[in-house]
Chain A
Amino acid sequence: MHVVVCVKAVPGSTEVKMDPKTNTIVRDGGQAVINPFDASALETALRIKDAAAEPADVRVSVLSMGIPATADLLRDCIARGADDGLLLSDRAFAGADTLATTYALSRGIEALGGADLILCGKMAVDGDTAQIGPELAGTFEWPCATDVVEVRGLEPMCTCVRANIDRGVASLAVPLPAVLTVSKDIADLRMPSIAGIMAAETVSIEVLDAKRSASDARRIGLSGSPTQVVRSFVPDRADGAVTVPGDAAEQACALAQLIEGMSL
């Protein structure tokens, strides 16, 4: 059984600040962290491995597309129990939208020898489209379950999960191979073990550029991306709030008038 966990490096959440003058994202320090949803996906994979009759038969690979420094995050995943890591890194991958990212990741999965199960986070906290998981499933023509809150069991042919759906939670039997995207709260990622730290020190993270991953140059990066961000701005509601003055009684009186005028 081969489980591939897709992990994205994202800015540490406290560093997502806006420069009020230039309206751009300030990435002070540039300290990247593993997307919190992907940490949960990795823990889910590690628990599948732990629960297997022969844990050694379950291989957990971590896969990322990102800058060279992302290799350190993959190494950290190995310290926590993943078996190996693959990084897709090349200037040619830069500027990818979800379609181009999905294509690159699919090349990475091929390079890893395919997969029985792909685990993604429900979404990345920066781009937050939640599209990569279902687009990977579509690429391989595999079934998909999104926003999974519990993996109940994994058999060679099928996995049983509970997943959030519109207005409820569904229990699903998903035939393998498949893609699952997991909720943040499904599992908290474990700490590295001593053995894991030692393994991570010696393991070499495989890094593939566009050419070595046999990627079609027209399908990656900016040129392989159908969507373009043409403008970005800070929502104008910020700091526009009207202050309601007075003590609690006066404030309540003003608010009551306001609410009564709203025709709810």
Chain B
Amino acid sequence: TPQQRASRLAAYKDVWVFAQVDQTGRALPVAFELLGRARELAAIRGCRVVALLGQGATAPQDQAPALLAAGADEVLLCRDDRLATLDARVYAHWICDMAGERKPEIILYGATAFGRELAPGVAVRLQTGLTADCTVLDIDPATGLLQQTRPAFGGNLMATIECPRHRPQMATVRPGIFAAPQVDALHAERGRITQVALADAWRPSVRVDAIEHAGATDIITDADVLVVAGRGIGSKKNLAVAQRLADVLGGKLGCTRPLVESGWLEYWHQVGQTGVSVSPKLLISLGVSGAIQHVAGTGGARTVIAVNEDPNAPIFGSATYRVVGDCVEVARELTARLQA
């Protein structure tokens, strides 16, 4: 009956945030961004925010306090070497065990490579819904129903998704969308760190033989400013013009797929569905047509300046500023002015 269902759902409370760590054991920026949004949702709902922190036994000890200072009321901490290799199956069982016992109303994960492998493993084991790659989260104060909005069809369509009859409600959330909160030492003092164990049964099965790290320079996903070159840049030589503009802005260089295919730039520069998703404060695109597979990766950009000689180029449909003209000339002039 509806009453039975309502009381079953009412048994679930609190907003959980999975705090992914990097290979050195530090929490990723997206963990803090999610805590910021989780605090706002918890304030509306009148509940607590709980961070889940799994680490290898030798990882840095200061991450749990940092999560409390970023808005968590409690950190469920497990330091165990079986968590060191980021084996999604071990993490999924760890989270399922905790969720089965403590019944969270909501669990949020960063939509990172690992988050997008882990969260479906939790969803299927708990037999609940999971919304992918959200960019907007709202909540109904009375029912706790989470309104999860996400791009689909390569960014051409936004869909709002709800999970009315199952708990926990779960979403992966795109990095760079929410602002990380200010550090709050007072909040950290009131918070609590709870050690939780990992059951004996769960052991990593995938063996990690080697990791080729992208160097700090090989990552465009966290750039605040990104200059993206498309085929309209004309020649490999002209890429230097785009690079110089990126340099004066303290930004990085991204590109469309044809530039990678023709060997002008390496794969890690590629933005889009088969490249990376970016969320810079400023994105300047030079000679990019705006194919949906490309703009699928730029949905998180705050301001987009697009330069294209074709006044009807589709890229203008997802731009904040529309500059019709020769992209090499505009980039050169702009670089000169910014240097002046």
Interface residues of A (CB under 8 A from B): 13, 16, 18, 25, 97-99, 102, 125-135, 137-139, 141, 143-147, 160, 164-175, 183-185, 225-235, 237-244, 247-249, 251-253, 255-256, 258-260, 262, 264
In the assembled complex, which residues on chain A have CB atoms less than 8 Å from the CB atom of B318? 235, 237-238
In the assembled complex, which residues on chain B have CB atoms less than 8 Å from the CB atom of A138? 89, 92, 120-125
Question: Shortest beta-carbon distance, B62 to chain A, in Å?
Answer: 21
B264 contacts chain A at the CB level, 8 A cutoff = no
The 8 Å CB contact of B325, one of A102, A128, A134, A248, is: A248
The 8 Å CB contact of B128, one of A131, A226, A262, is: A226
Question: Shortest beta-carbon distance, B105 to chain A, in Å?
Answer: 14
Chain B residue at smallest Cβ distance from A132: B120
Q: Are A98 and B152 in contact (CB under 8 A)?
A: no
Main SS at interface, chain B: mixed
Q: Are B209 and A134 in contact (CB under 8 A)?
A: no
Question: Shortest beta-carbon distance, A250 to chain B, in Å?
Answer: 9
Query: Known contacts A169-B214, A226-B163; can you find 6 more A-B pairs with CB under 8 A?
Result: A16-B153, A98-B120, A128-B132, A130-B132, A243-B322, A264-B249
In the assembled complex, which residues on chain B have CB atoms less than 8 Å from the CB atom of A167? 22, 213-214, 219
Instruction: Give the interface size class of chain B.
Output: 35 or more
Interface residues of B (CB under 8 A from A): 20, 22, 28, 86-89, 92, 112-114, 116-125, 127-133, 147, 151-166, 205-214, 219, 224-225, 249-250, 273-274, 281-282, 292-293, 296, 299, 303, 305-306, 316-326, 329-330, 333-334, 336-338
In the assembled complex, which residues on chain A have CB atoms less than 8 Å from the CB atom of B124? 99, 102, 134-135, 138-139
The 8 Å CB contact of B161, one of A139, A229, A241, A258, is: A229
The 8 Å CB contact of B210, one of A137, A170, A184, A232, is: A170
Complex formed: what's the CA distance from A51 to B163 in Å?
Answer: 45
Given known pairs A138-B124, A241-B316, the reply for A233 and B214 (CB within 8 Å) is: no
Q: Are A252 and B322 in contact (CB under 8 A)?
A: no
In the assembled complex, which residues on chain B have CB atoms less than 8 Å from the CB atom of A252? 330, 333-334, 336-337
Given known pairs A164-B113, A168-B211, the reply for A248 and B329 (CB within 8 Å) is: yes
Q: Are B156 and A131 in contact (CB under 8 A)?
A: no
In the assembled complex, which residues on chain A have CB atoms less than 8 Å from the CB atom of B132? 98, 128-131
